[in-house]
Amino acid sequence: MTHNMETITEGKITIKIPKGDIRKKDAVFYNPEMRLNRDISILAIKAFKDMAKRKITAADALSSSGIRTLRIAKECTNIEKVMINDMNPTAIEIAEKTAKDNNIENAEFSVEDANVFLSRNKNHLDYIDIDPFGSPIYFLDSCARAASGRSMIGITATDTAPLSGTYPKTCIRRYGATPLREDIKHEIGLRILIASIVRAFSRHNKSFVPMISYSKIHYFRIMGLSTSSTGRAGKSAETIGYAHYCKNCGNRMLSKEIETTSCAICNKDMTTAGPLWTGPINSPLFINKMIDENDFDDKKLSAFLETLEKESHITQPFYDLHQICKKNHLEIPRREKLFEELKKQGYKAEKTHHEPTGFKTDAGYKELLDIIKKLV
Residue 193 contacts residue 160 (beta carbons within 8 Å): no
What is the edge-to-edge ordering of all strands in the sheet holding 240-245?
Answer: 252-255, 240-245, 271-277
Does position 35 interact with ligand SAM (CB under 6 A)? The reply is no
Query: Which of 47, 72, 99, 114 touches ligand SAM by CB under 6 A?
Result: 114
Residue 282's binding partner among Zn ion, ligand SAM, none (Cβ under 5 to 8 angstroms by kind) is none
Residues linked to residue 178 through DSSP beta bridges, in sequence order:
274
Measured from the CB of residue 86, what is the shortest distance to ligand SAM in angstroms?
5
Measured from the CB of residue 263, what is the shortest distance to ligand SAM in angstroms?
41
Residue 270 contacts residue 263 (beta carbons within 8 Å): yes
Pairing of strands 79-85, 56-60: parallel
Measured from the CB of residue 201, what is the shortest distance to Zn ion in angstroms?
35
Does position 270 interact with ligand SAM (CB under 6 A)? The reply is no
Residue 62's binding partner among ligand SAM, Zn ion, none (Cβ under 5 to 8 angstroms by kind) is ligand SAM
Cβ-based nearer residue to ligand SAM, 17 or 233: 17
**Helices and strands of the chain, counted as H and E runs:** 14, 15
Neighbours of 132 (CB within 10 A): 17
Residue 38 contacts residue 71 (beta carbons within 8 Å): yes
Measured from the CB of residue 124, what is the shortest distance to ligand SAM in angstroms?
17
Cβ-based nearer residue to ligand SAM, 97 or 351: 97
Does position 291 interact with ligand SAM (CB under 6 A)? The reply is no
Residue 152's binding partner among Zn ion, ligand SAM, none (Cβ under 5 to 8 angstroms by kind) is none
Of residues 58-87, those binding ligand SAM (CB under 6 A): 60, 62-65, 67-68, 86-87
Cβ-based nearer residue to ligand SAM, 115 or 288: 115
Query: Which of 39, 75, 126, 131 touches ligand SAM by CB under 6 A?
Result: 131
Measured from the CB of residue 112, what is the shortest distance to ligand SAM in angstroms?
7
Does position 113 interact with ligand SAM (CB under 6 A)? The reply is yes
d(CA 305, CA 299): 10
d(CA 138, CA 106): 28
Identify whether 275 is preceded by a cis peptide bond (ω within 30 of 0): yes
DSSP alpha helix (H) spans, the chain: 35-52, 67-75, 89-101, 114-120, 140-146, 160-163, 168-175, 185-203, 230-238, 284-293, 299-311, 321-327, 335-344, 365-375
Cβ-based nearer residue to ligand SAM, 65 or 228: 65
Does position 223 interact with ligand SAM (CB under 6 A)? The reply is no
Cβ-based nearer residue to ligand SAM, 71 or 310: 71
Cβ-based nearer residue to ligand SAM, 36 or 51: 36
d(CA 160, CA 135): 9
> In the complex, which residues of this chain contact Zn ion (CB under 5 A)?
246, 248-249, 251, 263, 265-266
What are the distances in angstroms from CA 57 to CA 72, 76, 128, 327? 10, 12, 9, 50
Query: Which of 133, 173, 262, 340 touches ligand SAM by CB under 6 A?
Result: 133
Residues of this chain that interact with ligand SAM (CB under 6 A) are 29, 34, 38, 60, 62-65, 67-68, 86-88, 91, 113-114, 131-133
